[in-house]
Amino acid sequence: MWTTDVTDGGKNYNVAIFGCGGPNGGVKLVGNQQFPTLVADTMGTFRKLKMLTPDIYVTGHPQMLFAGKIERMKNNERPHPLLDPGARAWTKMLDDAQAAFEKRVAAERAQSSSR
């Protein structure tokens, strides 16, 4: 996760660059001996990220985010095509990532308790 300020077309924007929504698939979340605080740390990261309100955000794989916007950016359309007023899309993306993470944690806990 990185943040930066950029100027485009005379306007300043706070930009967040988001790498991933949690630990990679296949990484043991519950009872991870190498990283016992993984679940708590990841939930803390979501809380911290939700405090940010970037004007624009991009992800590590921005294909869906940029869909239909590349030509508009090339044409210098204003407001900026990636502008996220009120950080609504940012918040939804984080909520979705957190829900997916919590689902993984619940599935691992259910699996370990059934043993």
Question: Is the pLDDT reported for residue 20 higher than 90?
Answer: no
Q: Are 39 and 30 in contact (CB under 8 A)?
A: yes
Q: Quick one: pLDDT at residue 62?
A: 83
> What is the greatest pairwise CA distance in the chain?
60
Question: What's the rounded Cα separation, in Å, for the pair 39 and 106?
Answer: 11
pTM attached to this predicted model: 0.88
pLDDT score of 115:
66
Residue-averaged pLDDT of the chain: 93
Mean pLDDT of 91-114: 94
Q: Which amino acid belongs to residue 48?
A: K
pLDDT at 82: 94
- Tens digits of residue pLDDT in 23-40: 999 999 999 999 999 999
**Could you tell me the domains of the chain?**
2-113 (3.60.15.10)
